[in-house]
Structure 1
């Protein structure tokens, strides 16, 4: 009876070890090989754990430049930590399998597993099942390291294409990027009526970002070469520019701007969904946004003072702008905080104006008629404003 229980225990440990190895291998395949976004518990938990450590260190930083310097290592360190976790799970899994298959001690099984995984040749058991495990463990270890090496060029290729557009935006939008600045500069060079190619180029950029930033889950956290640049503030600036021009600038309507906005908010929503960030996909044009009417009026006044032709009906222009902005407002701010983006107008500056961190974390409560209203500190927000109802 005792021998039977001991045999069952060894079989159970062997199966648990095989499960651990299989889980690590599938996680590596989802991360490195699968060409689509897929939820992976290993990657998610490792990135969260490393982020917690970086957040502790970041608290001591008193300037954004210092915070950016700290966070620049977050994505690379998380990838290396993920590799370590995979290798550890594989070694422990094979340790359990070697212990369940041989008569040696747990220490001997651990030694054989480590020797096989790192191809050291320090220890082995000369039986066919054990040799078979040794070969498979060595092959899996080499495979995961090779996948990581092959994964890095894909990351940096997508990173380079992303940053090329972000860098070019600085010549058009200034630093930090501003939608108002873009419109003023294009007005000065007489280009306001010829923005179709700009919208088309950024529509393509949004499509590429959606694919790369969900299939390569670490890519959103790779920071731009310059501290004041960020892919998310660039995205917000382009979307706000298109929304402002559609709503308030008195030039012929360009349908390509509509397509650019749609491509942008679909992209940001998919990325937010990949990171499990909540948002309401069924928003109405009258739902609240993080831009106040006062800010909108100040932007329009600045454009008008610079000679930009503006529409006369400011109230309708505000309603149109809010109707466009509401599609991407919540996800834009959420991703700006997630990536710790540099301060930029109407994007990452929202967290400094409104103390509750991450405006995307509104508590959404159903009101009469089943519609969702937004609440902060128990007070409802007016549609199109952050001013609470009194």
Structure 2
């Protein structure tokens, strides 16, 4: 009976080590969105702690200061949890091989993992386990060391575009303000390069924010900025140009919208966000007709030429916005984005699908 228990404990310890290694590899090495339970649990636990810290904070600036630490703390908690699980796993293995009491197994495992060397193996099996644990511990630390620079490189690249939007669309940015400024300088017809640049930005975040999902929670250096708000501003501006402004057709604006909502869908899939991959063009959106008409009046006052059929323009705007409306609002809630028109000012509660669903091919 004692032998059977020892074997079961040893196998459980080996399974713990193996699952931890797989978690680390999927999180750091695999270049795609790979859901990992350990990683999810760590970030969920850290998020719960920060939710408690936000309990009495009502104004946005104080909440932003707290949440700015969430992603870095979650990222740094991962290697701690990995090392702790490896220690526990090898502790179970050492105990099953005769390292009694449990404290002795813990000292054996800790000495090997941290390469302290105050415990010397007395047999071949013990030596193999000691070397294996030491290599695994150093490997996990090396993975984290290499992971951080790539994460902050992607963050810096993302924020460069978010910051540039301040000079064009205000702070916090607004699609209407962006187009107002362009209308005053006769720049609305010269937006091809702008749409192409932001289309590449959407493609970049689609890749980086799925292969490194922690980037979703990294907040901008300035509290009034957010990658979510920037995405919504550009998408709404492209939707207004494509539907409402009486300008020559800009195919690059339509492609920018497609690049944007596909990026949000790809990132949303990792977080199991609910959305309709093929929405009806006349589906419901969060922007009201009154808000749309108010935006049209502002654009007209700024000198922009609007299409004469306002009802048709509204229907076209709805047809564009419906592709990204729900996802944009849920990301605004998930990331606690700063107050901004047509996005975080009406954020939807974050929801996760209970099961994965198959996606159909989206359309423009």
Flag the structure with more relative contact order, 1 or 2, with Cα contacts below 8 A and sequence separation at least 6: 2
Q: Which residue of 2 aligns with 1:269?
A: 265
Which of 104, 122, 130 is the equivalent residue of 2:118? 122
Q: Which residue of 2 aligns with 1:339?
A: 335
Q: Which residue of 2 aligns with 1:252?
A: 248
Kindly indicate whether residue 188 of structure 2 is the aligned counterpart of residue 192 of structure 1: yes
Aligned length: 353
Which of 153, 167, 172 is the equivalent residue of 1:171? 167
Secondary structure in structure 2 of the residue aligned to 1:169:
helix
Kindly indicate whether residue 108 of structure 2 is the aligned counterpart of residue 108 of structure 1: no
Which of 309, 316, 319 is the equivalent residue of 2:315? 319
Which of 51, 70, 76 is the equivalent residue of 2:72? 76
Kindly indicate whether residue 344 of structure 2 is the aligned counterpart of residue 348 of structure 1: yes
CA offsets 1:182-208 (integer angstroms, 9 cap, x no match): 111111222111111100000000000
CA offsets 1:122-142 (integer angstroms, 9 cap, x no match): 223311001100001011111
Q: Which residue of 2 aligns with 1:161?
A: 157
Matches within 5 A, 1:32-47: 32-47=28-43
Give the deviation of 1:212 after TM superposition.
Answer: 0.4
Give the deviation of 1:361 after TM superposition.
Answer: 8.6
Is the alpha carbon distance of 1:178 and 1:54 closer, same or farther for their aligned partners in structure 2, counting shifts above 3 Å?
same
Runs of 4+ in 1 over 3 A off after TM superposition: 359-362
Whether contact under 8 Å (2:162, 2:230) holds in the other structure is yes
Partners of 1:139 and 1:60 lie apart in 2 by 45
Q: Which residue of 2 aligns with 1:66?
A: 62
Structure 1: which 5+ runs fail to align? 352-356, 363-390
Provide the TM-score with structure 1 as the length reference.
Answer: 0.88
Partners of 1:118 and 1:60 lie apart in 2 by 40
Q: Which residue of 2 aligns with 1:10?
A: 6
Secondary structure in structure 1 of the residue aligned to 2:116:
coil
Partners of 1:59 and 1:96 lie apart in 2 by 39
Q: Which residue of 1 aligns with 2:218?
A: 222
Provide the TM-score with structure 2 as the length reference.
Answer: 0.95
Partners of 2:125 and 2:211 lie apart in 1 by 37
Which of 136, 139, 142 is the equivalent residue of 2:138? 142
Calculate the aligned-residue CA RMSD, in Å. Answer: 1.3
Partners of 1:361 and 1:277 lie apart in 2 by 5
Structure 2: which 5+ runs fail to align? 354-364
